[in-house]
Amino acid sequence: MSTFYQSVQRNFDRAAALTTMPKGLLSQIRECNSVLQLRFPVKIGRQIKVIEAYRVQHSHHRLPTKGGIRYSSHVTQDEVMALASLMTYKCALVDVPFGGAKGGVKITPWKYTEDQLERITRRYTSELIKKNFIGPGIDVPAPDYGTGGREMAWILDTYNVFKGGDIDSIACVTGKPVHQNGIRGRVEATGRGVYYGLKELLSIEEDVKKIGMEPGMEGKTIVIQGLGNVGRYAGIICRNEGGAKIIAVSEYEGSIYDPKGIDIDKLCKHRSSTGSILGFNGAKNLESREAALELECDILIPAALENQIHKGNAKRIKAKIIAEAANGPVTADAQEILLKKGTIIIPDMYLNAGGVTVSYFEWLKNLSHMRFGRMEKRFDQNVYENLVGFVEKQTGKSANNKEKKFLVKGADEIDLVRSGLEETMVTAYHQFRNVYKRKRNVKDLRTAAFITALEKIGNDYINMGVFP
């Protein structure tokens, strides 16, 4: 089986072969620019444990570089290089002006106490500072698998210990809690981006009819793998705002199925109180955690880890659409099998770009030192109130309080973040769908997304004067 990095490179090569870009330029885009390998000691109980960690900056064509930090026992240099590469293409695809990066710490987070995790995070951050691998204009981490707002707050605090005099220091990391210079809507951003991307694809009648579906998300059956940050919000929003039916969920401990639909909010509460998704109200426990992936459904959302759909199980996957919420969930081998069956694969580099898009908004907020909406919310509200008053006077009819409240509302930070995210996901989708439709030899959405990203990165290098 190919490694994750080899899979990404294979997908890159397939797309690169369909462009007219010079070979040297393609090689420059393809390779990781800086790879930092770390081994550092941390006191765990009475022992010193040597922790293995990485930070990879895939592309310096735009700075800062940007990418999450993963805590997992599966972290390898290969995996971090693959994830950093994907970040470059992802940022280019959704017009987020960063190069790609990724970090990984090889630990099983739940085997450590909070105090120990804090020590590991702070030491990892100090190493990044020492090697000049972090900073608002250098490299900006964010959450990924196994990390969240808590870790990002520790990173910021550690950075401030060393660089507190830097007026922009709060922009050294994103995904921070809102009360610690984060932004509203970041926690749900990746899952919400998955929803906007899926909704856009499903709205195009011509495309969905080809796979025997009616347009729209309402009533579509969905299976989700992984109920972490991404899977959870993707499920909640597709259900609550899109009217989809989540018929099965797979987690580490097993999988459950309920054809009537699963309330993800309630399932998450059940998991927090019992420690497992199994035994959830009315749902059937399936024989294994993999079993859910092979169920008959409209959409499969893998939102756990890479290499989950591989040569071994691809033939048994029955979903008409695979929505790659995780990074690299479908291997290059599996993709060939699925495309032959007519499955639509919405590529990770597009579909999970909601996280980095809202991280970009957070970075901008931090650099401007002001909450979005602060300047214009009241002004807009006053303008709308005047407008409503004028219409009432002219028509002799008046809106009731509820209608008035709705009509005169100025945009809050959360409204602007959601609208910016939707705009980003919709625009990017049509950019690479056009490549898919127009280029005769482009047979899948991933290749189209790669070509779109490669052309943008190539143009950056050409504009820099690095390549003729």
Footprint on this chain of ligand NAD (rule: CB under 6 A): 68, 143-146, 190, 225-231, 250-252, 289, 303-305, 325-327, 352, 355
Give every CB contact of residue 38 below 8 A, 6+ residues apart in sequence. 51, 52, 53, 54, 55, 124, 127
CA pair distance 431, 445, nearest whole angstrom: 11
Q: Determine the residue with CB nearest ligand NAD.
A: 228
Q: How far is the CB of 123 from ligand NAD (least distance, A)?
A: 21
The encoded tokens of residue 418 equal: 């959601």
Q: How far is the CB of 325 from ligand NAD (least distance, A)?
A: 6
What are the Cα distances from residue 16, in Å, to 22, 77, 222, 311, 463? 10, 24, 33, 24, 20
**Is the preceding omega at residue 329 within 30 degrees of 0, hence cis?**
no
231 or 242, CB closer to ligand NAD? 231
67 or 242, CB closer to ligand NAD? 67
Q: How far is the CB of 271 from ligand NAD (least distance, A)?
A: 9
Give every CB contact of residue 23 below 8 A, 6+ residues apart in sequence. none
Chain-centroid distance of CA 376 in Å reads 29
With tokens 């092979």, the residue in question is 294
Residue 322 burial (10 A CB sphere; 0-12, 13-18, 19+): buried
Give every CB contact of residue 194 below 8 A, 6+ residues apart in sequence. 230, 233, 234, 237, 238, 301, 303, 323, 325, 351, 352, 354
> Which of the 8 DSSP states describes residue 294?
G
Q: How far is the CB of 265 from ligand NAD (least distance, A)?
A: 15
CA pair distance 353, 93, nearest whole angstrom: 9
CA pair distance 126, 231, nearest whole angstrom: 31
Catalytic residues: 102
H and E: helices and strands count for the chain: 16, 12
Question: Minimal CA–CA distance to 92: which of 452, 333, 402?
Answer: 452
Q: How far is the CB of 465 from ligand NAD (least distance, A)?
A: 33
Q: How far is the CB of 352 from ligand NAD (least distance, A)?
A: 4
- Enumerate long-range contacts of 386-392, CB under 8 Å, 24 or more apart: none
CA pair distance 18, 216, nearest whole angstrom: 32
34 or 313, CB closer to ligand NAD? 313
22 or 177, CB closer to ligand NAD? 177
88 or 229, CB closer to ligand NAD? 229
CA pair distance 193, 425, nearest whole angstrom: 7
CA pair distance 299, 225, nearest whole angstrom: 11
Question: Minimal CA–CA distance to 128: which of 43, 54, 60, 49?
Answer: 54
Q: How far is the CB of 156 from ligand NAD (least distance, A)?
A: 17
Q: How far is the CB of 359 from ligand NAD (least distance, A)?
A: 8
Rg (CA), the chain: 23
298 or 324, CB closer to ligand NAD? 324
221 or 250, CB closer to ligand NAD? 250
122 or 186, CB closer to ligand NAD? 186
Q: How far is the CB of 330 from ligand NAD (least distance, A)?
A: 12
Q: What is the SS3 assignment for 74-88?
A: CCCHHHHHHHHHHHH
Question: Minimal CA–CA distance to 323: which of 299, 294, 354?
Answer: 299
59 or 352, CB closer to ligand NAD? 352
